[in-house]
Structures are given as structure tokens and as C-alpha cells.
Amino acid sequence: MPKSKSAYSVAGKKGKLDTHIIVVWVDNEAGVLARVVGLFSGRGYNIESLAVAEVDSKLNISRVTIVTTGSPEVIDQIKLQLKKLVPVHKVASFKREDKKVIFKEMALFKFVSNSKKMKLAVKACKKFNPVLLDETNKSCVVQVTALRREIDKMAVNFKKYGLKSISRTGAVAMTRGSDVL
């Protein structure tokens, strides 16, 4: 091992990286998203997806769902830091493989091709609650709700049906059964 010239210690073992979903309830005010996101970017962590909207207009509370990859130590640290933020009310998190939690993403696909291909496309979406939102004789817009990896797959496979544009949301999450977060 080459001799270290740094006055800092050398990096120790890194924890295993896992995908985590972090749910945060925040006051819906200017700058709050920047505060939340800053804790990730400040540690050099990328956010895979982010979904945020007001869920309680009376109390002015928004629910943020963040999907990110990190070692358990860093995720724990980010969660504790999130709890310290003044506009944050509550923080929850789980791993993607958690069976007790439902994750869903929505995507809008725009196909530009002929009616035959478009029909095939809508059919191929069948498993994912397709809704035909717009239709002309050479284009259509289809809405699907599915898991991230399913949408990833569709995005690749649907090229052949004339898929020209995709718009998708980040994941939102909800626990199964009567448990409330």
C-alpha cells in the first residue's frame, strides 16, 4: 500500500449500497424542498426520483417521496438530519424490496405511428392500467401506472410501436393493510 500523504484518515470499509425510499412530511413553504434535497446533494448522493405534492391543504403539509441509493449508515444519517430540519414533521423510510409497501410510478407515453402499431402498443400496456388520454389518427398518449423497472422495460420495448416521448413521475409509496405511516 502506498504511504498516505494525507492528514485525513484513509477510507474504511464501505457499507453495501441499497435502494431506499424516504418519505418526508414537510411544511409547504418556499425553500423546503431545497433543504431536503440539500442533505442528499451535500453528501454527493444522487436522487433517483422525487415526488412531492401538498397532501393536507388545511395544515399546509406536503408529502415528499424520495428514492435514493446509499449505504445504511448514510441513509440513517440523512434521516436523522431530516428530522432536525425545522419545517420537517415526520420521516419514514423503507427498502425497495419491502413487501409491506406499495410503490407506484405513473408514466405518459406518446406514440407517433400508424393505428395498427398504436393498437398493439395499448394492448401491450394492458397489465398496467392503461388510459388512452389523447388519440389522433397518427398519434396517441397513453397513461400507465407501474413499478419503476416495468416502466423502464416498456420504455425500451415500445420503441417498435413508435414511442416518441415519455414523461414519468417519481415513485409514490403507501403501506399495505390498515397500518398508517
The residues that touch another protein, with contacts defined as CB under 8 A, are 3-10, 12-13, 30-31, 34-35, 38, 42, 73, 76-77, 80-81, 83-86
CA–CA gap between residue 51 and residue 33 (Å, rounded) = 11
Report the nearest approach of another protein to the CB of residue 42 (Å): 6
**3-state DSSP of 7-20:** CCCCCCCCCCCEEE
Is the CB of 85 or the CB of 92 nearer to another protein?
85
Distances (CA, A) of 163 to 122, 142, 158: 11, 10, 6
Is the CB of 7 or the CB of 156 nearer to another protein?
7
Report the nearest approach of another protein to the CB of residue 41 (Å): 9
Is the CB of 20 or the CB of 148 nearer to another protein?
20
Report the nearest approach of another protein to the CB of residue 54 (Å): 19
Report the nearest approach of another protein to the CB of residue 50 (Å): 18
Is the CB of 9 or the CB of 178 nearer to another protein?
9
CA–CA gap between residue 117 and residue 138 (Å, rounded) = 10
Report the nearest approach of another protein to the CB of residue 101 (Å): 24
Is the CB of 75 or the CB of 151 nearer to another protein?
75
Distances (CA, A) of 89 to 27, 31, 47: 8, 15, 21
